[in-house]
């Protein structure tokens, strides 16, 4: 969702690009379907890393990517978000003196127990171009001593994709109701801890008494639920297979409430002005709380139930769309990169 609009914007400037898929997300429902729905070309290279520990996965990315960069010798490498692929790529490029651009730079949760926070900090330290989605990103980078000339406030590329595809969003074929809660859970702190997962499952069952819950289940979460022998009332909590972008966007748009631990969903619900409860104690996207519809509830089941029932019983939240979330962030990125590359050559 982040790559697609930037790829299109750079293509409009005639920039030759290569897409390297590390294979960190390899499941059909979590990878290939997005390339199709977003209208992106197939990756030029797939490293086929697959699943492993954070250290092993990052090490494999570094090892395999070095050979790719030797062959391609790009002028600039764009990295996105905060996953291990992002970290691995920026390390390789910094060693090989290849310039890098970090799309979605400057976000901070200030929680160093999150692997993603480590990835963000290291990536921003090494990258040459830092494209921030919100003003707090600029503030974080300045506070950390980043040279201001590296920082570019461009807006949110996730919203570029949302705006472009919102007219094409659709509901899953088996669901045409409009009175429901949408839930997603996948973070280790929520699904790898037996006590936390049981508590959240119980909270969803309680909330479902007020409105049915649609729950597209991440493969990691499904495995954990089956291992703990957790069963939902299927008349009220509907477990779905992972959805493509267009179907998930359709469900978000029509939901009365979204319960999630996903960073991207916090942003999308803010733009859509749909109430969102985030099952985390912190967020690297505070603008979704200060300006948007997002509220942090931690992974306390009782707190989640109370806040969810408040929303479902009419206590809505006022929301604003943050600055530069206007569908043109990718165009700004392309212009900056094209101008910088032209000056360098």
Domain ranges of the chain: 3-156+325-344, 171-312
Considering the entire predicted model, what is its pTM? Answer: 0.93
Band of pLDDT at residue 226, cut at 50, 70 and 90 = confident
Q: What is the mean pLDDT of the chain?
A: 92
List pLDDT tens digits, range 276-303.
Answer: 999 999 999 999 999 999 999 998 999 9
Fold that domain 171-312 belongs to in CATH: Rossmann fold (3.40.50)
List pLDDT tens digits, range 247-274.
Answer: 999 999 999 999 999 999 999 999 999 9
Domain at 3-156+325-344, CATH homologous superfamily: Glycogen Phosphorylase B; (3.40.50.2000)
Residues serving a catalytic function are: 186
Residue 194 backbone zone (phi > 0: left; psi -120 to 50: alpha; other: beta): alpha
Torsion angle of the four alpha carbons 279, 102, 155, 54, in this order, in degrees rounded to the nearest 10? -10
Inter-residue contact 34 to 245 (CB < 8 Å): yes
Inter-residue contact 270 to 288 (CB < 8 Å): yes
Lowest-confidence pick of 74-83, 206-215, 216-225, 248-257 = 216-225
Per 3-state DSSP, the chain is made up of helix, strand and coil in percentages (nearest 5) of 50, 10, 40
């Amino acid at each position: 969702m982040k790559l697609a609009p930037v790829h299109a914007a750079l293509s409009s400037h005639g920039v030759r690009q290569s897409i390297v898929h590390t294979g960190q997300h390899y499941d059909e429902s979590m990878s290939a379907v997005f390339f199709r729905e977003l209208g992106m070309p197939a990756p030029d290279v797939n490293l086929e890393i697959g699943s492993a520990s954070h250290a092993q996965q990052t090490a494999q990315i570094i090892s395999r990517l070095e050979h790719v960069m030797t062959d391609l010798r790009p002028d600039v490498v764009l990295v996105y978000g905060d996953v291990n692929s992002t970290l691995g790529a920026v390390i390789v490029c910094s060693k090989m003196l290849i310039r890098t651009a970090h799309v979605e730079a400057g976000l901070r949760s200030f929680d160093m127990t999150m692997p993603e926070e480590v990835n963000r900090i290291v990536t921003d330290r090494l990258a040459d171009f830092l494209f921030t989605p919100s003003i707090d990103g600029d503030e974080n980078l300045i506070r950390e001593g980043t040279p201001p000339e590296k920082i570019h406030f461009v807006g949110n590329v996730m919203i570029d994709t949302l705006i472009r595809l919102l007219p094409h969003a659709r509901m899953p074929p088996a669901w045409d109701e409009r009175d429901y809660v949408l839930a997603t859970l996948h973070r280790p702190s929520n699904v790898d801890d037996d006590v936390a997962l049981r508590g959240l499952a119980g909270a969803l069952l309680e909330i479902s008494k007020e409105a049915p819950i649609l729950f597209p289940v991440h493969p990691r979460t499904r495995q954990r639920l089956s291992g703990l022998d957790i069963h939902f009332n299927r008349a009220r909590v509907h477990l779905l297979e992972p959805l493509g972008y267009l179907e998930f966007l359709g469900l978000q748009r029509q939901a009365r409430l979204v319960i999630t631990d996903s960073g991207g969903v916090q942003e999308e619900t803010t733009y859509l002005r749909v109430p969102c409860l985030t099952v985390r104690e912190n967020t690297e996207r505070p603008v979704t709380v200060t300006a948007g519809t997002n509220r942090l509830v931690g992974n306390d089941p009782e707190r989640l139930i109370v806040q969810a029932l408040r929303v479902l019983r009419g206590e809505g939240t006022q929301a604003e769309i943050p600055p530069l979330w206007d569908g043109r962030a990718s165009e700004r990125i392309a212009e900056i990169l094209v101008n910088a590359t032209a000056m360098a050559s």
